[in-house]
Structure 1
Amino acid sequence: MKISHTFGHTLRESPTGAQLTSHQLALRAALVRFLGAGLYSYLPMGWRAARKIEKILHEEMQAIGAQEMLMPVMHPAELWQATGRWYSVGPALVRVKDRSGHDYAMAMTHEEVVAELARREINSYRDLPQVVYHIQTKIRDEPRARGGLLRVREFRMKDAYSLDVDAAGLDEFYPKIIAAYERIFERCGLEPIAVEADTGMMGGADSHEFMLPHPDGEDTFIRCTECGYAANVERAEFKLAPVEAQAAEEVQPVATPDCETIADVAAFVGVPTCQTLKVVFYAWTKNDEEHLVMALIRGDLEVNETKLLNVLGGGTLDTATGDAVRAVGGEPGYGSPIGLSVRKSGEETGVIVIADPSIQAGHNFVAGANRPGYHLTGVNYPRDFEVTLIEDIAQAQDGFLCPHCEGMLKAESAIELGHCFKLGTHYAESVGATFLDADGKERPIMMGSYGIGVGRLMAAIIEAHHDDHGIIWPPTVAPFQIHLLTLGDDASILDQGDALYEQLQAAGFEVLYDDRDERAGVKFADADLIGCPIRVTVSQRSIEAGGVEVKARWSKDRAVLEAEDLIDEIRRMLG
């Protein structure tokens, strides 16, 4: 392709609002253009890179026996209603009506459709296992669309789905898809870490995310410095440091004026924060019903809202109003379950109190007195209060103890590159996707779901492969393999450039030819910005030296090669 004919032009400066390096370079190198919040058009240069990534995705999916198909973006609401996600996902799911008033979901993922297809196409255990995939547009009403291609509202995703007879079949396939993902990322020049992850709105028993450590990543994962345990912070577990045993004291009220935080209270009373109880009140909504929930945890820990929602069984959490808290006898900022009517398991009245096990690992806590300006000392569980459930709702943090060894946990920011889910039978059961087993018994199909976002992967590649001058594309995903440019307006130089352009293309290379009448500085700057792996320069100096100048984008070294050596050397450099 000749740059003089290319649609889209490079930019010297980063547009206002582009903060991440990948966002800045994608715009400056004319890969994409901003259309609206979370909406980007791919220009020819960017689309070529995206198609290279998709080629790798196709090859690795087909290598494990996955069959390509294509499913619609617009789904009848009935499918999402059947699985419950029409109600549980929230505003991220874009809902539309057709002219007849029928409801539709704009696909953010395709589990419902795959389950419906399986209901129609799978009859017997002889039809299983199956693996299908597609690369299709997804829609998500992202509330914080930012970071360029990393967080968008419309995107292309490779999503694959496995259909199995039972959990054993799913367990047998799962390592194959994990290995395929590792090969995909390796071919893209990335080295992410597979971590345990929360299943979120997808549901299921287990899932793994592929996290690329990056200081500007929007996700956080925890890993052990000793044994290699790694998990998304939403799921990560940890081991509490031992607490010295104490004899139980009597409960005593104490005035705590102007104490607005746990740290204030601990300092005023003269105890460490681990000897306080922290309360967070939530308005929990599920199936259009709202309930007041108290999360109770040791004062030196933080509530993990993802874990809390999983304990509650899904829905949404919002901060409870002061009026709602006072209506049950609590007091914002001074709350505790002491003296409140606590809902017991199976009951429908009282405050739902979900307590973290950390409340059992301590003695003589300082807790709120449900009275402005007062706390209670000498509080012990279960002597002084009741809870509805005790479950892990604590967030792992940097420096905590590993749950599997004596090592220390380290928190790292990262970019999520892909996600694998063991879905189980929920989707199949919801739409009636069953099969007859070898004994003639009807059973639900076991499903798995596996996704990689194409644009997100492109952005991650740029984040991992760039310098101060621009992108440094790995050869496997570069929009072009060679950036050919001529310097000077001498006819012999231009003729040699044209001839070399034809020669390189005839040899099977993808060539971006800068045939513009521009200064050398402009051409070199664009070559570095766009980042094709090999730069070939035809100039008066190179001709006088007996050939053309060749330089790899990732190296400062340059060499002048004769025409007969050029093709072989470029092939060697590209690997």
Structure 2
Amino acid sequence: MLLSRYFLPVLKEKPVEAQVVSHSLMLRSGMIRQSSAGIYSWLPLGLKVLKNIENIVRFNMDASGFVELLMPCVQDASLWRESGRFDVYGREMLSFKDRHDHDLLFGPTNEELITDIVRNSFQSYKELPKVLYQIQWKFRDEIRPRFGVMRGREFLMKDAYSLDIDMESAIRTYDQVFVAYMRTFRDLGLNAIPLAADPGEIGGELSHEFHVVADTGESTLYYDKKFDILGDTLAGDINQLKSLYAATEEKHDPDNCPLSKSELSVRKGIEVGHIFNFADKYSKPMNAMVNDSNGRLVPIQMGSYGIGISRLVAAIIEVSHDERGIIWPMQVAPFKVSIINLNIKDDKCNQISRSLYNQFVDQNIDVLYDDTGDSPGAKFATHDLIGSPWQIIVGPKKAGSDLVELKHRQSGEVQDISVDSAAIEIISSLHVK
């Protein structure tokens, strides 16, 4: 993409309304703009990140054998009355009437709707287990939306729902989703910690929250320090994950904690995922039944599993930035490389820049070519702010020798390198698994 044709409305000054780093940097880098309290437009740069995260989440869901569907954002209130939640959910639910005086709501979650679907679709235990998931916008009318997209009212979420014949099968499915989540967060470049959690209004006895450690997090985490040491090596090891102590503030009992103070980490965290097994809380009152192997009608055992996709954008920035701007992990970066042409009036600079740009486009690599007439200082500031993992700086002093500067955003390392070598190094780094 040519920057001269792109829509990238960066801000030079820190927005006064931003209380946390991610909100400030998302506004400054032109990723989002506020529409109203807790509701944002996603501008091109932000949308690219959102889609990259969505694709990684979808890849891991599909690889686990889960099946994607899409449910409507607007739901019939009669389903929530059937489950008993309509009058108790609280004012976070946005409800309204249509022209026929029917009660509707903008879905904050989808347990009732998925239960209605499956009760009319499954008859036998032979059709189970299943995990159905969607990626969909949700709305919760937060009393005090804050921290940008971290706690907004409208948000993009991956929610999945498991269907099993009995609790033994349901626990196996729960563990399967657990592992899929750890792999997903690893693939996003995050070290997520799974903590025993309170299921809240969703219900059930078994629940875990997934948090990334960040000083700006709203939650207090209590967990075994081995999580900090072992990191993403734990992603696929369900037995080791279950053996390590980790609990949210609501579940942590300091008098009965199995860890000594030297073994226990107490940190702030940002919740990026939450999973629940709620057994027959919804299937029983809504009559979602199937025949078991003995021909008896039994309620489907269910669970729900959420990942906050839009919140993940902010969480990644909170744990990966510096004083100049965002430092994107390669896998979610909106542009993998920025080509910074310092003199668009210089033929050699233009030739090198355009040649590199065409190579990356041919390789299907997201590249942003700064072909604007801005000053070098302004260009450096913009590309550090938006956080492309690689920068190729093309200037007239070195272009005559077919040299460019190759900058690695995360390490800050800059090297003089030939044009061909710069392209090879970047392309090779992107194809390493």
1:428 maps to 2:283? yes
User: 1:507–1:567: 8 Å Cα contact kept in structure 2?
Assistant: no
In the other structure, the counterpart of 1:517 is 373
* 1:156-235 to 2 correspondences below 5 Å: 156-223=156-223, 228-235=244-251
Secondary structure (helix, strand or coil) at the match of 1:131 reads strand
Return the offset for 1:87: 1.4
Q: Give the 3-state SS of the residue equivalent to 2:156 in structure 1.
A: strand
Distance 1:518 1:459, change over 3 A: same
- Does the 8 A contact of 1:88 with 1:201 survive in 2? no
Q: Distance in 2 between the 1:30 and 1:225 partners?
A: 37
Q: Secondary structure at the match of 2:358?
A: helix
| Residue number in structure 1 paired with 2:61 | 61
**Residue 501 (structure 1) aligns with:** 357
Cα deviations across residues 14-65 of structure 1 (Å, max 9, x unaligned)?
1111010000000111111111110011001110011000000110000111
2:257 is matched with which residue: 388, 403, 410? 403
1:569 aligns with 2:425: yes
How far apart in 1 are the matches of 2:335 and 2:374? 21
Task: For 1:506 and 1:104, locate their aligned partners in 2 and report how far apart those are by CA, in whole Å.
Answer: 49
Q: Which residue of 2 aligns with 1:393?
A: none
Write the distance in 2 (CA, Å) between the matches of 1:406 and 1:523.
Answer: 51
Aligned to 1:129: 129
Q: Which amino acid aligns with 2:258?
A: H
2 CA distance for matches of 1:66 and 1:72?
A: 19
Aligned counterpart, 1:536: 392
Partner of 2:410: 554
User: What corresponds to 1:483 in structure 2?
Assistant: 338
In structure 1, give the amino acid aligned to 2:110. Answer: H
**What code does the residue aligned with 2:172 have?**
E
Q: Any idea what the Cα deviations from partners look like across 1:328-378, whole Å, max 9, x if unmatched?
A: xxxxxxxxxxxxxxxxxxxxxxxxxxxxxxxxxxxxxxxxxxxxxxxxxxx
1:464 paired residue number: 319
- For 2:257, give the aligned amino acid: P
Aligned to 1:103: 103
* Structure 1 consecutive aligned stretches of length 4 or more whose deviation exceeds 4 Å: 224-228, 405-410
Q: 2:336 is matched by which residue type in structure 1?
A: Q
Q: Deviations over 1:81-123 (max 9, x none)?
A: 1112111111011111101111112111111111111100010
The answer as to whether partners of 2:317 and 2:327 remain within 8 angstroms in 1 is yes
Quote the Cα distance in structure 2 between the aligned partners of 1:518 and 1:405. Answer: 56
Matches of 2:333 and 2:259 in 1, distance apart?
43
Matches within 5 A, 1:271-420: 402-404=256-258, 411-420=266-275
Amino-acid identity (%):
39
Alpha-carbon shift at residue 485 of structure 1 (Å): 1.3
Query: What is the Cα deviation at residue 172 of structure 1?
Result: 0.8
Cα distance in 1, alignment partners of residues 261 and 356 from structure 2: 59
Task: Encode CA deviations 1:510-539: one digit per residue, 9 max, x unaligned.
Answer: 111111001000001001000011101111
5+ residue gaps in structure 2? Answer: 227-242
* 1:346 aligned partner: none
Report the RMSD for the aligned CA atoms in angstroms: 1.6
Aligned residues: 413
Structure 1 residue 499, shift from structure 2 partner: 2.7
Deviations 1:179-203 (A, max 9, x none): 1111111111111211000000100
Deviation of the 1:178 alpha carbon: 1.1
Aligned residue type for 1:404: P
What secondary structure, in the 3-state scheme, does the structure 2 residue paired with 1:178 have?
helix
Q: TM-score, normalised by structure 1?
A: 0.70
Distance in 2 (CA, whole Å) between partners of 1:124 and 1:237 is 42
Tell me what 2:42 maps to: 42
Question: Are the equivalent residues in 1 in contact too, given 2:348–2:400 (CA < 8 A)?
Answer: no
The superposition leaves residues 106-161 of structure 1 with CA deviations (integer Å, 9 ceiling, x where unpaired) of 11111111111110001001111111101001000011100011000001100111
Return the alpha-carbon distance in structure 2 between the equivalents of residues 222 and 500 of structure 1: 48
Give, as a single letter, the amino acid of the residue that structure 2 aligns with 1:437. D
Change beyond 3 A, Cα 1:407–1:465? closer
Give the Cα–Cα distance (whole angstroms) in 2 for the partners of residues 502 and 549 of structure 1.
18
SS at match of 1:88: coil
Cα distance in 2 for partners of 1:407, 1:564 equals 54
Q: Aligned with 1:145: secondary structure?
A: coil
1:427 aligned counterpart, secondary structure: coil
Show the 5 A alignment for 1:234-273: 234-239=250-255
Q: Structure 1 counterpart of 2:252, which letter?
A: A
Within 2, Cα distance between the matches of 1:410 and 1:538? 46
Cα distance in 2 for partners of 1:443, 1:564 equals 66
Identify the residue that residue 19 of structure 1 maps to in structure 2: 19
Judge conservation of contact 1:156–1:454 (CA < 8 Å) in 2.
Answer: yes
Against the structure 1 CA distance between its residues 58 and 410, is the aligned structure 2 distance closer, same or farther, given a 3 Å change threshold? closer
Q: Quick one: distance in 2 between partners of 1:76 and 1:112?
A: 10
Bigger Cα displacement from structure 2, 532-541 vs 406-415: 406-415
Whole-Å separation in 1 of the counterparts to 2:404 and 2:210: 42
Task: Report the Cα distance in structure 1 between the residues aligned to 2:356 and 2:267, rounded to whole angstroms.
Answer: 47
Deviation track 1:217-268 (CA, whole Å, cap 9, x = no partner) reads 11122335699422111222232xxxxxxxxxxxxxxxxxxxxxxxxxxxxx
CA distance in 1, matches of 2:261, 2:366: 49
Find the aligned partners of 2:209 and 2:110 in 1 and give their Cα distance: 18
Distance 1:474 1:225 in 2: 24
- State the AA in 2 paired with 1:234: E
Looking at structure 2, the residues matched to 569 and 411 of structure 1 have their Cα atoms a distance apart, in angstroms, of 40
Q: Distance in 2 between matches of 1:566 and 1:431?
A: 61
- Structure 1 residues 225 and 29, CA gap change in structure 2 (3 angstroms): closer
Alpha carbons of 1:565 and 1:407: their partners in 2 closer, same or farther (altered >3 Å)?
A: closer
1-structure distance, mates of 2:259, 2:20: 36
**What is the DSSP-based 3-state SS (H/G/I as helix, E as strand, rest coil) of the residue aligned with 1:179?**
helix
Please state if 1:442 is matched with 2:297: yes
2: CA distance, partners of 1:54 / 1:129: 25
Amino acid aligned to 1:563 = V
- Structure 1 CA distance, aligned partners of 2:423 and 2:182? 31
Contact 1:546 / 1:560 at 8 angstroms: preserved in 2? no
Under a length normalisation based on structure 2, what TM-score does the superposition of the two structures give? 0.92
Higher mean C-alpha deviation, range 485-494 or range 422-431: 485-494
Distance in structure 2 (CA, Å) of the matches to 1:564 and 1:141: 53
* Distance in 2 (alpha carbons) for counterparts of 1:61 and 1:191: 18
Instruction: Check the 8 A contact 1:68/1:132 in 2, yes or no.
Output: yes
